[in-house]
């Protein structure tokens, strides 16, 4: 006995009903692009009833149910600002070394203008419910900033202090990488929301 999609029948026809649900979901699910019964978490069905994983961006599931698009946008903007400030800080150190030592004063003072940006982006990630690695990278950068202060003051010895410019380079590379990933997330989430 044939059954309509989305309905199960008892007796010998139950297996057929299950197969119909799995391969040919009810038109409601096809129109809404929603998983029908039996779909595993993290999967969705296309118009042919084929299960595929939900797309992920940088470890973050796209259109997370409680995720905030505005939080992701603010996260990306602040991360780009932080990366630019780290580049400027490195440039000030270069100017102080190769042109005029007076730039050291600017180098020391400028860091106070942006050192807390990773903390702000971390808070945005937590309250904006941004998932995956993007949530935790800002706190890793805070640890690197703390190491910058320790090496600048030679609190860990002269040998470890030599890592000061290396840590600065790591901060720039990591922040740029995070900025690119979060920007891609913003663009792709924005395009998906527009289509919906």
Does some domain include residue 4? no
Same domain as 102, residue 160? yes
Q: Give the residue-averaged pLDDT of 68-72.
A: 89
Three-state DSSP class for residue 61: strand
> Both 91 and 187 in a single domain?
yes
Other CB atoms within a 10 A radius of the CB of residue 49 amount to 16
Q: Would 63 be classed as within a structural domain? A: no
Mean pLDDT score, 174-182: 96
Structure tokens of 106?
């600017």
Contact residues for 100 (Cβ-Cβ < 8 A; gap 6+) = none
Residues 35 and 90 in one domain: no
pLDDT at 14 over 90: no
Sorted by sequence, the CB contacts under 8 Å of residue 153 that are 6+ apart come out as: none
28, 84: one domain = no
- With bands split at pLDDT 50, 70 and 90, how would you rate the model's confidence at 156? confident
Domain that holds residue 30: 11-54
Residue 60 lies in a domain: no
User: Do residue 35 and residue 120 come from a single domain?
Assistant: no
* 1 within domain boundaries: no
- The predicted pLDDT at position 155 comes to 80
Q: Would you say residue 62 lies in a domain?
A: no
Sign, CA torsion 118/69/34/47: negative
pLDDT, position 46 = 55
Q: Are residues 131 and 180 located together in one domain of the fold?
A: yes
- Rounded to a whole number of angstroms, the distance between the first and last alpha carbons of the chain is 38
pLDDT confidence tier of residue 196, bands split at 50, 70 and 90 = low
Local structure of 13: helix, strand or coil:
helix
Among residues of the chain, what percentage have pLDDT more than 90?
A: 53
Alpha carbon distance 196, 187 (integer Å): 14
Query: Both 92 and 181 in a single domain?
Result: yes
Helix axis angle for 133-152 and 164-195, nearest 10°, is: 160
Is the pLDDT confidence value at 107 over 80? Answer: yes
3 is a domain residue:
no
Are 90 and 142 within one domain?
A: yes
Q: Looking at the structure, do residues 74 and 48 belong to the same domain, yes or no?
A: no
The pLDDT value given to residue 188: 85
In a domain, 167, yes or no: yes
Give the pLDDT confidence of 32-66 residue by residue, as tens digits.
444 444 444 555 555 555 545 554 544 443 444 45
Mark whether 178 and 124 lie in a shared domain: yes
For the chain, the domain total comes to 2
**Residue 163 shares a structural domain with residue 186:** yes
pLDDT attached to residue 79: 97
Distance CA 103, CA 112 (A): 15
Is residue 152 included in any domain, yes or no?
yes
> Are residues 90 and 164 both part of a single domain?
yes
């Amino acid at each position: 006995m044939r059954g309509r999609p989305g309905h199960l029948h008892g007796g010998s026809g139950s297996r057929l009903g299950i197969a119909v649900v799995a391969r040919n979901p009810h038109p409601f699910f096809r129109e809404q692009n929603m998983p029908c019964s039996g779909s595993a978490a993290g999967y969705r069905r296309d118009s042919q009833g084929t299960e595929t994983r939900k797309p992920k961006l940088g470890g973050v599931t796209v259109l997370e149910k409680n995720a905030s698009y505005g939080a992701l946008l603010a996260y990306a903007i602040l991360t780009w600002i932080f990366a630019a400030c780290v580049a400027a800080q490195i440039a000030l150190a270069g100017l102080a070394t190769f042109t005029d030592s007076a730039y050291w004063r600017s180098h020391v003072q400028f860091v106070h203008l942006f050192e807390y940006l990773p903390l702000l982006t971390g808070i945005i990630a937590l309250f904006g419910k941004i998932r995956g690695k993007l949530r935790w990278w800002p706190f890793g950068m805070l640890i690197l900033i703390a190491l910058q202060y320790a090496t600048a003051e030679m609190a860990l010895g002269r040998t470890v202090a030599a890592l000061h410019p290396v840590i600065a380079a790591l901060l720039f590379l990591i922040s740029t990488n995070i900025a690119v990933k979060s920007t891609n997330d913003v663009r792709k989430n924005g395009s998906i929301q527009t289509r919906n």
